[in-house]
Structure 1
Amino acid sequence: MPLGPRVPELGALELLLAIARTGSLNAAAREVGVTQQGASSRLSAMEAQTGVQLVLRTARGSSLTPAGVVVAEWAARLVDVAEQLDAGLAALRDDRRSRVRVSASLTVAEHLLPGWLVSLQTEGRRRGTPIAEVVLTATNSEHVLAQVLAGAADLGFVEAPGSLRGVRSRVVGHDELVVVVRVDHPWVRRRRPVSAVELSTTGLVSREEGSGTREALSRALTATLGTGTVQVLPALVLSTTSAVRSAVQAGAGPAVLSELSVADDLASGRLARVTVADLDLRRQLRAVWVGPPQPPAGAVRDLVTHVVSQKPKAYNRRL
């Protein structure tokens, strides 16, 4: 139930306790950090609010009335609890600055976040500011959102283009999906690009449902071919990007993966990139959190601000 209108504020109760300790309104005023006039006004307002005379003021000093002694005993317990609350909140604020739980999609966790953290540490050492400890969970975009919404993660990074209901978000970069095959695949030798229809009717090596990469491909095909598009079932479903790459190299079939994740394979000739006609496979990478429009103050905001300031070349190479 709500408190009644006659319950004094904590500041007034602290003044009452200071009067009990010092026996002087002037000394109590100095202790709580107000002027003598301010202390006198606060005491008068508290007595008017409670309807109880709490202090006797004489030329020799100030003392509590019998009722004031009882109220001071109650106030001491209340102020003690408030001090514990204040200390606990301070500890939580410090923890938010010294430690941040991050949940990131596999693409971000494997290919971007390590670089972000290294550059953040370098900048912190240069400025002489403490660096937050990052506790990282790598999973798919769907699980990232679930963890952020459940409070299991302070900050998430996703590549999912779908609904972000219940969370705040900010674009931190861009990525592009590419179709990759083994170097001896028939698609490598053909002169014309693979069509979006052909891609949708080919069994691909794919990540699991809930993966941002898989969802981005589905949305891109729907945008090109229409809402009635039916994508055939994957030839093989695997839970990590590394496993998908290995399966493609083994000849399991084509795959659609982040350009970031296959850059080395393409450069070394382990995989070949295939052009797809009329299919926009660009996507946004987003930081997500729960709460106000701006990221929460502390380690979360520091990390998001740093990531946004980086603007890695890999994001914008094809945009």
Structure 2
Amino acid sequence: MSGTEGGGEDRGGRSAGDGSGRTPAGSLAHRVPDLGALELLLAVARLGSLGGAARELGISQPAASSRVRSMERQLGVALVDRSPRGSRLTDAGGLVTDWARPIVAAAEAFDAGAQALRDRRDSRLRVAASMTIAEYLLPGWLLALRLQRPDTAVSLLAGNSATVAERLLGDEADLGFVEGLSVPTGLGSTVVARDRLIVVTAPGHPWTRRRHPLAARELAATPLILREEGSGTRQVLDAALGGLARPLIELSSTTAVKAAAVGGAGPAVLSELALGEELAVRRLVRVPVADVSLARDLRAVWPTGHRPTGPARQLLSLTRG
């Protein structure tokens, strides 16, 4: 006998067997055929043909033959007799088939349960988004998602960036979008769009008659119509200018800030995404600013270590499109 048969030792000096055909104890996965092999054996028993079993499972006949041989080596017994008339299970193969049926049935039940969990997850999507993204970007993304997932019910929770973080960390949302200067603690993120803040006023404001751009220090010293503290717009502006004067008016939505500016209450700083129509018809006028960058990243966010899955993952992919 060779050195690894009938109770010999492997190169490390470990026993390779006890002469009875039994293999040493180890991981169950190494001692029990996988589900694909057991499914194949059941198909051979039912159809009486290895080729027919291969076709039913969508694999080639050589692959099926190789899988049977591998299973026979693993178990140490012959399972299938092959002949020109077809394939017949040996007595050992018949026993293994009987044992395989409840295993495969249990796996099918497991798969059905897992699919039910996925279906329940995929039946709803909770999105939390800061105001600018919720108003000007998400509608298009959600419409595209609905075309792909018409059965997924979507709920949208709009608020400032701080509120979005609270919703995600409190398991009240599956995916969030923020527009602040940095990623809130405890969240992972990816950039989905870029934006700029711009200074606007009603047409009659003195700033619209300036011959030179507004200095950053003058903007910082001027009371402005602003979003509330905690909003991404406010954070970015404050950081870019190194501080702000006391707000002229403080409002909780982009739409409200625009309405106040259009009404002549004073200058405002808003997302370029939100101002297309107002600038086009000159309800508001853009005021250039020198020596300061008001660009910002818009991000998708989720709890650290829990990347989006299901419809949340699909929505994230649509933002990148």
Q: What is the alpha-carbon distance in structure 2 between the residues aligned to residue 32 and residue 185 of structure 1?
A: 75
Q: Is the 8 A contact 1:100 1:132 kept in 2?
A: no
2:219 aligned residue (185, 199, 202): 199
Change (3 A) 1:114 1:298: closer
Change (3 A) 1:106 1:9: same
Change (3 A) 1:29 1:131: closer
Code of the residue aligned with 2:190 in structure 1: it is: S
Q: Does 1:13 align with 2:49?
A: no
Show structure 1 runs of 5+ residues with no match: 122-129, 223-229, 306-319
Q: Is the 8 A contact 1:20 1:63 kept in 2?
A: no
Q: Does 1:241 align with 2:254?
A: yes
Q: What is the alpha-carbon distance in structure 1 between the residues aligned to residue 215 and residue 113 of structure 2?
A: 63
Change (3 A) 1:39 1:82: farther
Change (3 A) 1:72 1:273: closer
Aligned to 1:43: 68
1:61 aligned residue (57, 67, 88): 88
Aligned to 1:304: 320
Q: Is the 8 A contact 1:54 1:68 kept in 2?
A: no
Q: What is the alpha-carbon distance in structure 2 between the residues aligned to residue 188 and residue 32 of structure 1?
A: 73
Q: Is the 8 A contact 1:160 1:216 kept in 2?
A: yes
Q: Is the 8 A contact 1:56 1:64 kept in 2?
A: no
Q: What is the alpha-carbon distance in structure 1 between the residues aligned to residue 220 and residue 268 of structure 2?
A: 11
Show structure 2 runs of 5+ residues with no match: 1-26
With CA pairs under 8 Å and 6+ residues apart, which has the higher RCO, 1 or 2? 1
Change (3 A) 1:7 1:273: same
Aligned to 2:241: 221
Equivalent pairs: percent with the same residue?
44
Q: Does 1:254 align with 2:274?
A: no
Q: Which has the higher helix share?
A: 1
Moved more, 11-20 or 198-207: 198-207
1:29-76 CA distance string (max 9 Å, x none): 44334455544442332243245x473638683255364254223323
Q: Is the 8 A contact 1:15 1:39 kept in 2?
A: yes
- TM-aligned CA deviation for residue 205 of structure 1: 2.2
1:101-121 CA distance string (max 9 Å, x none): 765443344335556778x69
State how 1:1-319 maps to structure 2 within 5 Å.
3-34=28-59, 38-51=63-76, 53=77, 55=79, 57=81, 61-65=88-92, 67-81=95-109, 83-84=111-112, 104-114=129-139, 131-133=148-150, 135=154, 137=156, 138-144=158-164, 152-153=173-174, 158-163=178-183, 167-170=188-191, 172=193, 174-183=194-203, 185=205, 187=207, 194-222=214-242, 230-249=243-262, 252-266=265-279, 268=281, 270-285=283-298, 291=307, 300-305=316-321
Code of the residue aligned with 1:55 in structure 2: it is: L
TM-score by length of 2: 0.64
Change (3 A) 1:3 1:243: farther
Q: What is the alpha-carbon distance in structure 2 between the residues aligned to residue 259 and residue 37 of structure 1?
A: 62
Q: Is the 8 A contact 2:189 2:299 kept in 1?
A: no
- TM-aligned CA deviation for residue 82 of structure 1: 5.5
- TM-aligned CA deviation for residue 241 of structure 1: 0.8
Moved more, 109-118 or 275-284: 109-118
Code of the residue aligned with 1:247 in structure 2: it is: A
Change (3 A) 1:250 1:3: farther
Q: What is the alpha-carbon distance in structure 2 between the residues aligned to residue 57 and residue 151 of structure 1?
A: 59
Code of the residue aligned with 1:283 in structure 2: it is: R
Q: Is the 8 A contact 2:215 2:290 kept in 1?
A: yes
TM-score by length of 1: 0.64
**Which one has the largest radius of gyration?**
2
Change (3 A) 1:10 1:246: same
**SS state of the match for residue 289, structure 2?**
coil
**SS state of the match for residue 210, structure 1?**
coil
Q: Is the 8 A contact 2:162 2:231 kept in 1?
A: yes
**SS state of the match for residue 226, structure 2?**
strand
Code of the residue aligned with 2:81 in structure 1: it is: R
**SS state of the match for residue 5, structure 1?**
helix
- TM-aligned CA deviation for residue 206 of structure 1: 1.6
